[in-house]
Amino acid sequence: MKETTSLIREAYRSYRRGRYDDSIMLLRNIVAAVRDDPYPEILLAVQYLLTDRFDLVNPILKRMRYSNPDYPPFVQLELFIFLKAAVDRDSALSMYLDALRRFPADSYIRRGVKRLREEKDFPGYQKRVSLRELVRVTAPRKHTSRRAGGVQGGSFRRWRNIALAMVLVSAAATLVLLAGYKYFRQDGNGSGSVGGGVSDIDMIVLDKSRYGLVETINRQREPVFYYSSDEVLKDFNEVRSLLKQEKHNEALKLVNRLLHSNATPGVKERAGFLKRFILDNDERAVSAVTYRELAREPYLYEGMLVSWRGRVANVKRKQGRLTFTLMVEYREHDVFSGIADVYGEREFSGIENGNILTVEALYVASQGKDGRAYLLLKEARQ
């Protein structure tokens, strides 16, 4: 054990000095011999990324996703890869906000949210952001191993759900993200959309055998529990039917229901593709959901376009962007239904403290102890 610890420390020293090949050679032998410590595996994955060996990263992430899904550097690394492959700021910010809502104590996730909120040039930031900025790789004497039982930076027991919900669970999905990461490393512009038509919906199906669609023993506490594969298949096919009828809001609620359930990873992966299809549709209608309805089951409305009226407070403008607090359904002093934090990618001139406005915005998530909604502003009117 002492010999292994010495080798890990030597591998870390080589990593810090930029001698990645030397470190990788040591770590390969260590990982082959030691299977109960995630530290050497994450250090190896980091260096594979730094040396553009993308095909070797996926097997490590796949193992860790099931053996150590609550390990902080692993969580941070998958978020970083997603950011590098994201088609736009909104999708990257949504991923980080979802993680932050569950793991509020992680300083590296908080840093990612802060950078994404403040950065004006997302494509430029996407290219230049370094792995070390958003992924913490400590010296081996400080790292938290699986044996130690503790998790640095808060509770990470629900990370598996995030990874599944954001379509990061399968080897194929990870390879897509790594391809996107490699693309930006090669100065690609990352433009374009992943949207599609009815024919694309027809291609996303579940196994007709109806077996293996639910996890009856689920370690994660999910708000939705399916008792049979038939129930899952019914909801999934209903989503496809609603999308063909262009009933995007009804479809989105069902997709979110699947993503926050005990459905299997394969089901959630396909549901994630359908959700992306919905979110990429710029012509979908605004939902009529009220703040009170959303607050009761917020997970059902993630990604929904909402229209709420309220009073504006805490207006801030910086680098061409706008943030403010909206007291939703404001009636009089201290009488309103709830609070939303609103973020706009332009200044929206004319919005000032005390205004009564109707905002149309994308609901991302609810965060904080008070469960306030986080909105991405699309339009605002008196």
| CA 375/CA 382 separation, integer angstroms | 18
- For residue 233, being part of any structural domain is answered with yes
Q: What 3-state class would DSSP assign to 375?
A: strand
Partners of residue 305 on adjacent β-strands: 362
- For residue 192, being part of any structural domain is answered with no
- For residue 286, being part of any structural domain is answered with no
Using left for φ > 0, alpha for ψ between -120 and 50, and beta otherwise, residue 314 falls in left
- Looking at the structure, do residues 139 and 229 belong to the same domain, yes or no? no
For the CA atoms of 262, 264, 265, 266, the dihedral, rounded to the nearest 10 degrees, stands at -140
Using left for φ > 0, alpha for ψ between -120 and 50, and beta otherwise, residue 262 falls in alpha
Residue range 182-198, pLDDT digits in tens: 545 544 444 333 345 55
- For residue 208, being part of any structural domain is answered with yes
- For residue 112, being part of any structural domain is answered with yes
Domain count, the chain: 3
Domain boundary among the residues 129, 152, 185 is at: 185
* Residue 99: CATH number of its domain: 1.25.40.10
- Looking at the structure, do residues 126 and 175 belong to the same domain, yes or no? yes
Q: What is the DSSP letter of 55?
A: G
- For residue 315, being part of any structural domain is answered with yes
- Looking at the structure, do residues 117 and 228 belong to the same domain, yes or no? no
Instruction: Record the pTM.
Output: 0.54
Residue 12 has pLDDT above 50, yes or no: yes
Q: Which residue has the higher pLDDT, 142 or 362?
A: 362
Residue listed under structure tokens 């004006």: 120
- For residue 285, being part of any structural domain is answered with no
Q: Which domain holds residue 358?
A: 291-381
Would you say the C-alpha torsion 122, 125, 130, 133 has a positive or negative sign?
Answer: negative
- For residue 89, being part of any structural domain is answered with yes
Residue range 63-97, pLDDT digits in tens: 888 777 778 899 899 999 989 888 788 888 888 88
Give mean pLDDT, residues 168-184: 48
pLDDT value of residue 294: 94
pLDDT value of residue 282: 80
- Looking at the structure, do residues 40 and 20 belong to the same domain, yes or no? yes
- Looking at the structure, do residues 26 and 97 belong to the same domain, yes or no? yes
- Looking at the structure, do residues 241 and 329 belong to the same domain, yes or no? no
